[in-house]
Chain A
Amino acid sequence: MRSNFSRSTASPLRIITVGDVDHGKSTLLGRLLYDTHSLSQEQLSSLHLANQAHRGAFEFAFALDAFWEEQSRNITMDVTEVPLRRSAREYLMIDAPGHREFLKNMITGASRADAAILVVSIRDGIREQTERHLQLLKLLGIDQIIVAVNKLDLLDFSQQAFEQTAEEIKTLFNQLALPYLRIIPLAARLGANVVTKSPLLPWYEGPALFPSLSELKSPLAEEEKPLRFFIQDVYHVGGEPLLVGRVESGTLRVDEELLFWSQHQGVCSQRIRSIEEWGATHAPLSATAGESIAIRLQGPLSLQRGDLVTTPKHPPLQSHRLVVRLFWFEKKNLCLQQKVILRLATQRVGASVASILHVVEGTTSIVMKEEERAVHQDQVADVSFQLEQPLFYDFHQEIPTTGRLLITLPAGEEQTGEIIAGGGILNAPYSF
C-alpha cells in the first residue's frame, strides 16, 4: 500500500521514528539533532536547562519532548517534527509517541512520513507495540524502514546478543511481508553508531545510522497514474463558475476530452477551457498530481463538491459496497450494523457495517464467530460497508490517494464527527 499523497520529489524527506515506549526513540532523535549540530543555540540552552531541572542521566529526548508533562514523565505525548539541518539532503524527523493511548498521534505523524526508523531496545526485544507499529506502517504504505537496535551498552555491546535480536526482527519482517533496509546496532544515549561509527562496536561492518539515511529514496510522483480530480468547491468569480480542487493522481490537460462524474447527474463528457492561476504570467496548460488548481469548462455543466473528473480511458469504480482494511482507534468497539460516515477525497457518505471479515492480530488473522464479531481499539481488521449512496473510488493498490478513506462518527448537518478509523479499499480476494 503506497501512502503518500503526491509530494514534490524536491521536498525534504520525512522520517518517522516508531517502536515501543522507552526503547529510545526520542533519545535517538535528540542525539541525531545534537550530533549533527541541527539545534539552535536557544534550543541547546533549553535542552541544558530542562536537564538541570531533571535528576538522572542527561536526556537528549528533551530536545523534542517539549511539554513539561512530557519531560517530567519522560514520555512523548504528541507527534513533533524537527529538521535535520546540517546535511546535504534535507530531512524532517518526526518523533511519534510509543504509548498505546497515543496511537492516533503516531498515525497522524506516520501518515506524512516517507520512511521510518524502527527502534528496538536490545534488552526488551520485540514487543506487542513494535508489531503494531510495523503493521500500521505497512497499512500506511511506508516500506522504507531502517531498524535501530538500541541500548547495546546494557548488554556490553555483545555481538551475539545483537545477532539474536536481529534474527527475531528479520523473522517478524518476513511474516509481515515488509522489507527492511538495514539493522544497525547502536547506543543512542552514548551516540554510538548514531552519526559516526563507534569503536565500541568494532564487529559491526555496516554504516552508522545517519549516513545510512542517504539510502532512502524520495517518494515517487503520481503523475503517470490515471487522472483523478475531485471537485472541492465551485466559486462564482468572474462570471462563469470556477471549479477548484486538487489533482489526486495523474495529469489534467486543457482541451482534452474528459469525463465528469456526478453523483446526481451521471456522467458527461466535457473539455477544460483554461486552468486559471491568479498572478501567473501565462496560464498553465496542464496540472499534475498534488496541484491545487482552478478550472473553467468549455460548455455549461452543473457540478458540485465530490464530483470527479477522469479520462475516458480510466473511469473510476463506483459501488454501494466496499471492503476496507482499517485501523480502528476509537475506545468503543466497531460492531455490525453500526452507522458511520465514510470520507474519500471530497466525497462524504453515510454507511453501515455489513460484515467484519476478520481481525488481523500481530502476524495472524482471526476469524470470529458471527455473533462475536467486533473490532476493538487499536486493531486492524477487514470490514465490509454498505453505503447509503455509491461512492467513486479506486482500489488502494492501484491508486492510493483515491483508494483510501477515513471513517468518522455520524454528526449533524455541517458538523463533522470525530475521526475513528482510516483504511485502504481492498480488491478481491482482499489482500494487500
Chain B
Amino acid sequence: MDHLDFLQSQSIYILREAYYAFPKLCMLWSMGKDSNVLLWLTKKAFGGEIPYPLLHIDTTYEFPQMLAFRSWAQEHYGFELIIKINKAARFGHAPYRTPISYETHDPLTVTHELKTVALQQFMQEHPYDGLITGIRRDEDATRAKERYFSPRDATFRWNYHNQPPEFWNQFVVATHPGSHTRIQPLLDWSEIDIWRYLEREKIPIPNMYFAHGGKRYRSLGCSPITHPIESEASTISAIIEELLHTPHSERSGRAQDHQEPYAMQKLRARGFL
C-alpha cells in the first residue's frame, strides 16, 4: 500500500461507519476539489453507488463556471442534489431587516449568514443526523484539532473545549435531540495528497483550478471574496510542483479567514465547516 492507498482505505472505512451509524445521512458538496474526492471515495465505498444525497449550500455568489460544473456533474454521476439558499438573508425577509450581501456587509458576517445559517436552516427543516464534510487538518490551525466524528448540538456549536476522545477507529455517535454529527473523512489528507489522488484517479474537477492567463484559483469560495493566485500551472503535475515550493497557505486567497485575528476560530465555533 502506498500513502494514497492508505488514505483512501481510511476514508472509505469512515464513510462506511457513517453509513452504518446514521439512518439519515447527507454529504456536503461544494463542487471544489475536496468535494469531488469525497464523491469519488463514496463511489468506491459503496460499489459505485451514491447512497446519500449531496447538499450544496448555494450562497448565490457562486462562480458561473462552478454552477456549470454542478449541472454537468449532476448529469454525469446521477446523484440526488439538494440546493439550499438562505433566501430570507439574501432578500432581507424576516427575521432579517436588510438583505445580506458582500456589497453591504463584511465577509465574516456574510459567510456566517449564507453558509452556516443556511446549513442550520437546512438541518432544522430536515431530520439529518449525519453530515459528511470535506475539511482537512492542514487547511487551518483550528481544523487541525478536529475529530473524524465531531458532535454538534442543536445550536451548531463546536465544543472544542471538550471534544470526545477518538482512537483505534472507534467512533462515537451523538444522538441527542436536535444534535448532529459531522463526519470528516478527509482530515488526514494534505492539499498535495488531494492533488496526487485527483491525478491518479483522473477525477473531474472545475477547470478554474488550472492557470489561465497567468492566474489560477487554489481554493474556491464566494466570487467577491475569493482571489486567484499568480500561477502558470495548467496541469496537475505543475500544480503539485508549485505547491511543493510555495511559501503561502492554501486559503490565503479567502478573505473571511483573514479579516481579524482568530477569525476562523470564531466562524468555526459557531458551526462553519
List chain A positions with a Cβ less than 8 A from chain B.
5-8, 10-12, 40-43, 46, 49-50, 53, 64, 66-69, 77-83, 104-105, 107-108, 111-112, 221, 232-233, 235, 237-238, 242, 244, 246, 276-279, 288, 290-292, 294, 305, 329, 343, 404, 406, 408, 412, 414-419, 422
A5 in contact with B169 given A68-B265, A291-B1 (CB within 8 Å)? yes
Give, as a whole number of angstroms, the nearest-CB distance from B101 to chain A: 27
Beyond the given A82-B144, A105-B163, A277-B44, please list 4 additional residue pairs across the A-B interface where CB-CB is below 8 A.
A68-B261, A77-B160, A80-B144, A108-B165
Query: How far is B4's CA from A12's CA once the two chains are assembled, in angstroms?
Result: 11
Residues A422 and B175 in contact, CB atoms below 8 Å apart: no
List chain B positions with a Cβ less than 8 A from chain A.
1-3, 5-6, 8-10, 12-13, 16-17, 19-21, 23, 43-49, 137-138, 140-142, 144-145, 147, 160-161, 163-175, 190, 201, 246-249, 252, 258, 261-262, 265
Residues of B near A221 (CB, < 8 A) are 1
Residues A112 and B167 in contact, CB atoms below 8 Å apart: yes
Residues B9 and A292 in contact, CB atoms below 8 Å apart: yes
Residues of B near A42 (CB, < 8 A) are 248-249, 252, 258
Partner of B265, one of A41, A67, A415: A67
Query: How far is B172's CA from A79's CA once the two chains are assembled, in angstroms?
Result: 18
Interface CB pairs A-B, < 8 A, 7: A42-B249, A68-B262, A68-B265, A77-B161, A80-B141, A232-B13, A406-B170
Residues B16 and A292 in contact, CB atoms below 8 Å apart: yes
Query: How far is B71's CA from A311's CA once the two chains are assembled, in angstroms?
Result: 48
Give, as a whole number of angstroms, the nearest-CB distance from A96 to chain B: 11
Residues A108 and B20 in contact, CB atoms below 8 Å apart: no
Residues of B near A329 (CB, < 8 A) are 165
A66 in contact with B144 given A242-B47, A279-B44 (CB within 8 Å)? yes
Query: How far is B163's CA from A418's CA once the two chains are assembled, in angstroms?
Result: 11
Partner of A235, one of B47, B140, B160: B47
Query: How far is B2's CA from A221's CA once the two chains are assembled, in angstroms?
Result: 11
Residues of A near B140 (CB, < 8 A) are 66
Residues B144 and A81 in contact, CB atoms below 8 Å apart: yes
Of the listed residues A10, A242, A329, A417, the one surrounded by the most CB atoms of chain B closer than 10 A to its CB is A10
Residues B141 and A64 in contact, CB atoms below 8 Å apart: yes
Of the listed residues B145, B169, B173, B174, the one surrounded by the most CB atoms of chain A closer than 10 A to its CB is B145
Give, as a whole number of angstroms, the nearest-CB distance from A280 to chain B: 9
Partner of B47, one of A49, A104, A276: A276
Query: How far is B165's CA from A219's CA once the two chains are assembled, in angstroms?
Result: 23
Residues A8 and B2 in contact, CB atoms below 8 Å apart: yes
Residues A419 and B43 in contact, CB atoms below 8 Å apart: no
Which residue of the partner chain A has the closest CB to B9?
A292
Residues B145 and A66 in contact, CB atoms below 8 Å apart: yes
A305 in contact with B20 given A40-B247, A77-B161, A416-B173 (CB within 8 Å)? yes
Query: How far is B40's CA from A278's CA once the two chains are assembled, in angstroms?
Result: 10
Residues of A near B168 (CB, < 8 A) are 5, 111, 404, 406, 422
Query: How far is B262's CA from A131's CA once the two chains are assembled, in angstroms?
Result: 35
Residues B47 and A237 in contact, CB atoms below 8 Å apart: yes
Partner of A408, one of B5, B169, B172: B172
Partner of A238, one of B47, B161, B262, B265: B47
Give, as a whole number of angstroms, the nearest-CB distance from A39 to chain B: 9
Residues of B near A343 (CB, < 8 A) are 170
Residues of A near B166 (CB, < 8 A) are 108, 419
Of the listed residues B17, B144, B166, B167, the one surrounded by the most CB atoms of chain A closer than 10 A to its CB is B167
Query: How far is B140's CA from A47's CA once the two chains are assembled, in angstroms?
Result: 13
Residues A419 and B138 in contact, CB atoms below 8 Å apart: no
Query: How far is B3's CA from A6's CA once the two chains are assembled, in angstroms?
Result: 12
Partner of A10, one of B2, B9, B142, B163: B2
Residues of B near A40 (CB, < 8 A) are 246-249, 252
Residues B16 and A244 in contact, CB atoms below 8 Å apart: yes
Give, as a whole number of angstroms, the nearest-CB distance from B37 to chain A: 13
Residues A419 and B160 in contact, CB atoms below 8 Å apart: no
Residues A412 and B175 in contact, CB atoms below 8 Å apart: yes
Which residue of the partner chain B has the closest CB to A66?
B141
Residues A53 and B261 in contact, CB atoms below 8 Å apart: yes
Query: How far is B63's CA from A89's CA once the two chains are assembled, in angstroms?
Result: 39
Of the listed residues A81, A288, A305, the one surrounded by the most CB atoms of chain B closer than 10 A to its CB is A81
Query: How far is B9's CA from A79's CA once the two chains are assembled, in angstroms?
Result: 23
Give, as a whole number of angstroms, the nearest-CB distance from B46 to chain A: 7
A232 in contact with B170 given A50-B261, A66-B141, A288-B1 (CB within 8 Å)? no
Residues B190 and A406 in contact, CB atoms below 8 Å apart: no
Residues of A near B138 (CB, < 8 A) are 83
Residues of A near B19 (CB, < 8 A) are 233
Residues B47 and A422 in contact, CB atoms below 8 Å apart: no
Residues A43 and B169 in contact, CB atoms below 8 Å apart: no
Residues of A near B190 (CB, < 8 A) are 83
Which residue of the partner chain B has the closest CB to A238?
B47
Which residue of the partner chain B has the closest CB to A71?
B262
Residues B261 and A49 in contact, CB atoms below 8 Å apart: yes
Residues B165 and A419 in contact, CB atoms below 8 Å apart: yes
